[in-house]
Structure 1
Amino acid sequence: MDELSVKCLLHANDQVILVPSACGLQEMVNKMNDFVKKKSVKVYVGKTKVMVFERGESTTECDLIIENEKVEQVKEFIYLCSRLQIIANMAEISKKRMNADNKVNGA
């Protein structure tokens, strides 16, 4: 879309939009919403989520609005049976991996 590099993951009626920065995200979502409305499709805002990935602790607020409703910002969500989540640091990642290994070893 114009100068904004956009990548999409599409499956049936699910869509993930990946953008390199939040700049222009609202405009892009507005264009996407206008397009689907022309096809008599409605974006279900209750199932729509926004997640910000950044180095360190994610603190950026992303106020995304669709049809006058604010989209919920989350730190994790499930897409096609895979959990996408923000993990603050490598120590937390290592702890989660050790816990998973211990469960396997104990089984």
Structure 2
Amino acid sequence: MPPILQVIFAMSACGLQKMVNKINDSVKKRGMREYVRKTKTMVIERCKTTIECDILIESEKVDQVKEFVYLGSLFTNDGKHDRDIARRVNAGNKLMGPCSLL
């Protein structure tokens, strides 16, 4: 069975932990398990400081990342889209190859 990709948004770390616990309970009831090493968290914040968000799955800490790609879009912890746009433009330029303007 292919892995299930899921994005969860919460207003607080406490709210996210509750949702993660419910998902983990549901997964275990079906005889499956969550792969903690493949699970990531990210805090979207407007300030320069990084807020640590300690989310646990069965006492194992989930890694916190500053960016990830979901459905082809780059999400960053500053909530901006400029790096995603630049990444897409560069990918398009690579596909077009060197071309000259007439």
Which protein has the bigger strand share? 1
% identical equivalent positions: 51
Map of 1:64 onto structure 2: 55
> Whose Rg is larger?
2
Paired residue secondary structure (1:18): coil
Aligned amino acid, residue 36 of structure 1: V
State the aligned residue count.
Answer: 89
Q: Indicate which of 12, 21, 34 corresponds to 1:43.
A: 34
Aligned to 1:3: none
Structure 1: tracts of 5 or more residues without a match: 1-11
**Runs of 4+ residues over 4 Å off in structure 1:** none
1:61-102 deviation digits (Å, cap 9, x = unpaired): 000110221100000112223221124889xx48x85xx58x
Task: Verify the 8 A CA contact 1:76 1:83 in the aligned structure 2.
Answer: yes
Deviations 1:20-61 (A, max 9, x none): 222322122111101110011111111100000011224110
Amino acid at match of 2:57: I
d(CA) in 2 for partners of 1:37 and 1:88? 33
Q: Residue 7 of structure 1 aligns with which residue?
A: none
> Greater relative contact order: 1 or 2 (C-alpha under 8 angstroms, separation 6 or more)?
2
Amino acid at match of 2:28: K
Contact 1:30 1:66 (C-alpha < 8 Å) held by counterparts = yes
Distance 1:47 1:58, change over 3 A: farther
Q: Give the TM-score normalised by the residue count of structure 1.
A: 0.66
Gaps of 5+ in 2: none
**What SS does structure 1 have at the residue aligned with 2:14?**
coil
For residue 77 of structure 1, give the secondary structure of its aligned residue in structure 2.
strand
Is the counterpart of residue 83 in structure 1 residue 70 in structure 2? Answer: no
Provide the C-alpha distance between the structure 2 equivalents of 1:89 and 1:14, rounded to a whole number of angstroms. 22
